[in-house]
Amino acid sequence: MSDDGTIRCVWCGSRFVPSPGPGRPQRYCRRSHRQRAYEARQVASDHGLGEDDVLLSKATFISLRDGLFRLEAASDDVATDRSEGVDPDTIIDGLTTVINDVVSIDWEPKAVGEG
């Protein structure tokens, strides 16, 4: 748990404040995410995936790969822009655009190994 009392959803990674009460600690921000995680574990089991394995659609994999490439290129651009004296606000605006694009990728897995 972080200093602000939030935790990350095991399924989507979003931060949320867990509901107080009896029982096991809350791990998901929504019931639907708990259900998706259960379904993903079932598919993983059916495919013999190990606890560190994740099954993604090809489109999701390509989106994530391309997003990481854009982040790498943006990092290189920052170094070049700084050495060329580009205005820091312009650099920040460019980075913000790339980061927002990557963060908005729908990365939901098809299956997640149990671990």
* Residue 54 or residue 18, greater confidence: 18
Q: What digits encode the pLDDT tens for the residues 25-57?
A: 999 999 999 999 898 888 888 888 887 888 888
Average per-residue pLDDT for the chain: 87
Q: How confident is the model at residue 89 (pLDDT cuts 50, 70, 90)?
A: very high
- The pLDDT of 57-68, averaged and rounded, is 90
Q: What are phi and psi of 7, to 5 degrees?
A: -130, 165
End-to-end CA gap in the chain: 20
Q: Are 91 and 99 in contact (CB under 8 A)?
A: no
DSSP sequence for 40-104: HHHHHHHTT--TT-EE--HHHHHHHHHHHHHHHHHHHHHHHHHHTT--HHHHHHHHHHHHHHHHT
Q: How confident is the model at residue 114 (pLDDT cuts 50, 70, 90)?
A: low
- pLDDT for position 34: 93
pLDDT of residue 15 exceeding 60:
yes
In angstroms, the CA 115 to CA 41 distance is 9
- The pLDDT of 91-97, averaged and rounded, is 91
Find the Cα–Cα–Cα–Cα dihedral 88, 93, 99, 105, rounded to 10°.
Answer: -170
- The pLDDT of 56-68, averaged and rounded, is 90
In angstroms, the CA 115 to CA 105 distance is 24
Helix (H) or strand (E) holding 111: strand 111-112
